[in-house]
Structures are given as structure tokens and as C-alpha cells.
Structure 1
Amino acid sequence: MKHLIIDSCKFALFLLCLFASPLSRAQETIVSYVTKNGGRTAYKDSAEYTSILRIKPNEQGLYELNDYYQNGNLKRHGWVKAPDPMRLRLEGLVETYYDSGSLETATYYTDNKRIDTAHRYYENGVLKEVKVYLKPKEGQERPAWDGTNKRLLYYADSTGTMQVQHGNGEIVLRHDNGVDFEQGLYKEGLREGRWEGSFRKGKYRFEEWYEEGTVTGGVSTDSVGATLPYKERDVHPEYPGGVQNLRRFVAQHYRYPKEAARAGVKGQVILRFVVDTAGNPTDFEIVNDLGYGTAAAGIEMLKKSAKWAPGYQRGVPVRVAYTLPISLNIADPRQSGNN
């Protein structure tokens, strides 16, 4: 059975990278042709979009970023903390646009994290929602997985009919596939009480209960009436021993190809793969390759890694996409040979 792939951009090792082509415009900008998976290509026609990063800072010390669709319309405008297209750290106001040219979102960032008030619009210009992003709690480095770090203040359908105002109201959220939906109550900006809906193009229906935005329990029902109870809405795949153990595995088992070692290659290989419903890493894809077999060596390493604990969506096993950056430095004795 083919399962939904969920993009796990929330994972700790996830890194969306834009890669730079040679400097142009008299050393004023870095131009990148970005592919669908976040890699780069030398050919504009085969890119998903073009990214232009200005290397002269403004008065606040920030660097202007402009991304463009293939049709030439602006896709994103914002600011980053350093002129490094491989490690974009968004800062300040960032605006995204539909390919038709109309504004889609206006969001504030600090050190690549959403803050303050964010606005989202329908393509016809009607305001869709207003959210407020809260600061992480003390000792919390990243926003909470369950979304309790944000509050929904306003929501309307594409005609402008309000469903949530001042954080309160009954809401029906329609998914982009035109089939699935979620509906329930918002109270003071958080989900509350009983919610219901469907997912995976109507193959499953669900009921779940919330207290102050946190799921306390739920049950999914498939097309033949079988039920799958759950306590967490989304369970992400996990490598045995967690992220730190995965990092140790990579450090201990990745080996430079001999050709790469002789050439003194260093930098960052980025691989994308899927953790399937049995916990196996599969469907490997190269996002960034340093050449000399460096990416192929990373794939061979991952094929020998331990089985993961699989991911779940509302009690249903799902395939989850994962992006892994591998930093290579020939000076690292753990990577300098093929022992």
C-alpha cells in the first residue's frame, strides 16, 4: 500500500539549502538556480526558481534576498543575517507571493524562527488568517511540535466570511486536495474540545480531543470500519538512540572516497531519503554532491544504518521524507580513510 509522504522539515537535522552559482552583477549578488528538492542546477530552465542574494548589507547589517518564479514574478522577498546562500538565516519581514504576483504571506523572523504576527492571504487578495508566534519557553530551543507556540487570532474563507475572530470561533479547514478537512472549536487562539475530519484523500476519518491546543487522544477509522486509537497526532520517525546517535553513526561510518581524499574535497553533502512505514531508509536522492563519489558514499553509509522507528499520522503509519546534511573535512581523521 502506498502511503503519504510527510515532509519532516520540523526535524532537527532538516536543512533547506539554496546553492550559489558564481558571483555576477559585478560582485553585487549571488545568483542560484534552485531545484525542487532545494539543490542547485547550472541551468535556469531546469530550476524551480531563481534566488538572488545581495552581498552588500543594509543599515541594519542584513542582506536582501529575492526569489523569482520561472515566469519572472517575485516568489519571496526578505532579509538574511549573512551573505551565505547555503545557510539562509531569515531576519525581519519576509513576504511570499503566488506565481500570479499576489501576496501570499507576510511573516516576521528572528534568527530563522517565526515571531510576532503573521498574515496569510488567498490568491484573490482576501485575508485568510492571522497568527501570533510566541517565544519558545525557557530551555526550549525550537518551537513546540504540537503548535502550542502559536495562536490563531483570525480566520476567514475565500469570500471573507469570518470563522475565527479574536481567537475564538468554529472553523472548517479545507485541505489543498479539495477532499480532506478539519473542523472544530478555537478558544483563545488554541484548539479546544472535539475535532473531526478526514485525511489521506478521504481514506480515513478521525475524531480527536484537545485541551488548550494539545491533543489528549483520538481515533482514526478506515474505509472498512477498523479503528486506530492514538495519543499524539503526528509521530516523527526516530533513529535508534535519537539524533545524537545518528550523528555519531555518520561520523564513524562515512568514509571519503579515495579520489575525494586525494583532491582534498571538503564541504557539505546533502541527501534526501524516505523512512518507510517499516522504518527502512529508502528512495535516496542527492540534493548536493561535492563530486568524486562523495554523495554515493553517503548513500551507501545510510543503507547500512539501523532501522528507524517509523512515523505515524493520527495512528496511521506513513512514509516520511528526511533531509540529512553531512559536513566533510578531510582533516577529520575519522573520515580520512576507507578502513
Structure 2
Amino acid sequence: MKKILLTVFAITFFINAKAQSAEVAITKKENDTGKIYTSVEKAPQFPGGIQSFYHYLAATIVYPVDARTKNRQGRVIITMTIEKDGSLTDIKVVRGVSPSIDQEAVRAMSACPKWIPATQNGLPVRVLYTVPIAFTLGK
């Protein structure tokens, strides 16, 4: 099952982070903790790279029993803020599949280790990041 999930993640996993200049970045202020960029010079990275992230998801995600019995499948789109220290905050479902699958995707991302933060002008910055997570039942 893990191999099936890993294959599905590798095929359907796309990360939305575009490298553009700071002038193009859309930002938002939150409690004077700094801007949240949507595009940065250097995107954040999961420790060990994208393959390590696939392995992390495959090892962490547990397909919800109710979704499995109802044959629920699909892609959950998650947004989150990757902070200057690499921690993940404000994890939200943008597009869901079912309540139990959505909760599992949020749980997996909440348990995620710290990422290598994004940088802008050589300094770590907060960035809004989007992650699609595919839930597919194997045969």
C-alpha cells in the first residue's frame, strides 16, 4: 500500500512556489511578525529533498477507514505558512475530498518536521505554500 501511495504522490505531487522578485510578491501583515510571501527567490525545502517528503507522506498518512469503505478518493489541496524557522503554521484545506481524508492530510502536515525556510535577498522569510496530497486506493 505504501508503494502505491508513494507512486501516486510522485506522479500527482506539485508544489506551488514561484521564484520571482520581491516587488512581485503579494504579502500580508500578521501581528507585526513579518510579511508572508507568495513568491520568493529560493523556495522552502523539506529536509532531504522532495523524495524525502514523498517518503514522509507515505509513512505518515493512514487512509481513513470510513473513506476506504466508501471508496473515497481524490486530491486534498493544503495551504500553509512556512515560517522563518521552518515550522509550519496556519495549515488549512483549500479543496477537500471528505472530512476524514481532509483531517488526515492536515494531521500529516501538522506532524511534519521543520522545513528549510524560503529565502529572499539572502534572508529567511515566511512564505505561503500549497501542497496537493493525493489519496488513492490501490487494488
TM-score under structure 2 length normalisation: 0.71
What do the CA deviations read for 1:207-255 (whole angstroms, capped 9, x no partner)? xxxxxxxxxxxxxxxxxxxxxxxxxx82221100111211121122111
2:45 equivalent to 1:238: yes
2:97 equivalent to 1:311: no
Give 1:66-85 correspondences, 5 Å limit.
none
Rounded to whole Å, the distance in 1 between the matches of 2:75 and 2:41 is 30
2:33 equivalent to 1:5: no
Equivalent residue number for residue 285 of structure 1:
92
For structure 1, the 5+ residue unaligned runs are: 9-232, 333-339
Deviation at 1:270, TM superposition (A): 1.0
Equivalent residue number for residue 77 of structure 2:
270
Deviation at 1:292, TM superposition (A): 3.6
Structure of higher CA gyration radius: 1
Equivalent residue number for residue 7 of structure 2:
none
DSSP 3-state at the match of 2:51: helix
Equivalent residue number for residue 65 of structure 2:
258
Larger fraction in strand = 1
Deviation at 1:316, TM superposition (A): 2.8
TM-score under structure 1 length normalisation: 0.30
For structure 2, the 5+ residue unaligned runs are: 1-31
Q: Percent of aligned pairs with the same residue?
A: 29
Deviation at 1:319, TM superposition (A): 0.6
- Runs of 4+ displaced beyond 3 Å: none
Residue identity matched to 2:59? Q
What do the CA deviations read for 1:74-95 (whole angstroms, capped 9, x no partner)? xxxxxxxxxxxxxxxxxxxxxx
Residue identity matched to 1:293? S
